[in-house]
Amino acid sequence: MSQYDKILVVDWSANSTPKRGADSIWIGQSGADAAPPPRNFATRAETMTYLHAEVAAALAMGQRMLISFDIGFGFPSGFAKSLTGKAEALAVWDWLAAHITDDDKNRNNRFQVAAEINRQFLGIGPFWGRPDRLDLPDLPAKGSLREGHGLAELRQTEALCAGAHPMWKLYTTGSVGSQSLLGMAHLSVLRAEFGQALAVWPMESRDAPITLAETYLSIIDSAVKEAEGYPCKDAAQVDLLARAFFGADMTKLMSPDAAQSVLREEGWILGAGHAAHLLDVLASSV
């Protein structure tokens, strides 16, 4: 039996204008009761309003809820300490919340903030990727133009997830960095609103009714390829992964083989190294 009453899986987006359908924000849900079909949101502001209401409702009903996001929750070791003075991913969240602007039409300053961060590191980088129209000398358009910033390309957890893109990539296909910068800023605000009732896994070990976690939707892609009846791949991914998490052995998934210092600074992908288990759960539920 799941240790959570409800699980939400969020496919986040860095779109700079409102958008629905493929390549926008989708949320899948699973729990003991019949789950609704995946929900689609046009903006990040609309999404956060919905999530705020879901958290408040879960707390009012005494439920335990896991919300997992398809974004990175941390950066390779050394980044957080250099940027904030603390080797903690959650310190980066708060720094981003103080510097990122993201309005109700998805207009945001993520590229400018990335350029500002790059200026605080030696060499060129670590962030890269931007539209040609933006004149940001400190943010190279290509990853090959970076040098001397002194940080690894991938986090330890990403080595367990085939095809994972580096957090430094901000533009074009696979630009998880853009989604993550915006997502961390919004989640910092959510943390501040709900305080001790909410914990971020695996950075915080305390027990709380609401848990935020990072995930990687492509971890169940072999099942997604066989799925039918969904409006787009994104909808299938969030729905199936929510179901897989609800039926999974969370003790196994939440016991990563990594040092606490790594978990606190880099974070960890929920399900990393356990794709076979998640796929088995889905297969047995058909």
Domain that holds residue 271: 6-72+189-285
- State the average pLDDT over residues 6-27: 97
From residue 283, alpha-carbon distances to 66, 161, 220, 277 in Å are 22, 20, 11, 10
pLDDT digits (tens, 9 = 90+) for 79-113: 999 999 999 999 999 999 999 999 999 999 999 99
Cis peptide before 18 (omega within 30 of 0): no
pLDDT digits (tens, 9 = 90+) for 238-248: 999 999 999 99
With H, G, I as helix, E, B as strand and everything else as coil, classify residue 171. Answer: coil
The pLDDT-based confidence of 162 (bands split at 50, 70, 90) is: confident
CB 69 within 8 A of CB 264: no
Q: Is residue 253 part of a domain?
A: yes
- Residues 213 and 58: their CA atoms lie apart, in Å, by 17
* Of 18, 69, 68, residue with least CA distance to 44: 18
pLDDT digits (tens, 9 = 90+) for 115-151: 999 999 999 999 999 999 999 999 999 999 999 999 9
How many CB atoms are closer than 10 A to CB 45?
16
Give the neighbor-by-neighbor strand order of the sheet with 198-200.
Answer: 39-41, 25-31, 6-11, 65-69, 210-214, 198-200
Q: Is residue 180 part of a domain?
A: no
Q: Is residue 168 part of a domain?
A: no
Q: 3-class secondary structure for 81-116?
A: HHHHCCCCHHHHHHHHHHHCCECCCCCECHHHHHHH
| pLDDT surpassing 60 at residue 41 | yes
pLDDT digits (tens, 9 = 90+) for 184-232: 999 999 999 999 999 999 999 999 999 999 999 999 999 999 999 999 9
Mean pLDDT of the chain: 96
Q: What type of residue is 126?
A: P
pLDDT recorded at residue 65? 98
Number of domains in the chain: 1
Q: What type of residue is 262?
A: V
| pLDDT surpassing 60 at residue 1 | no
Q: Is residue 99 part of a domain?
A: no
The pLDDT-based confidence of 286 (bands split at 50, 70, 90) is: low
Q: Is residue 79 part of a domain?
A: no
Q: Is residue 98 part of a domain?
A: no
**What tokens were used for 141?**
């358009």
pLDDT recorded at residue 85? 98
pLDDT recorded at residue 2? 75
Of all residues in the chain, the percent with pLDDT exceeding 90 is 93
Q: Is residue 201 part of a domain?
A: yes
Q: Is residue 199 part of a domain?
A: yes
- Residues 116 and 97: their CA atoms lie apart, in Å, by 14
Handedness of CA 100, 101, 102, 107 (dihedral sign): negative
pLDDT digits (tens, 9 = 90+) for 252-266: 999 999 999 999 999
- Residues 72 and 179: their CA atoms lie apart, in Å, by 8
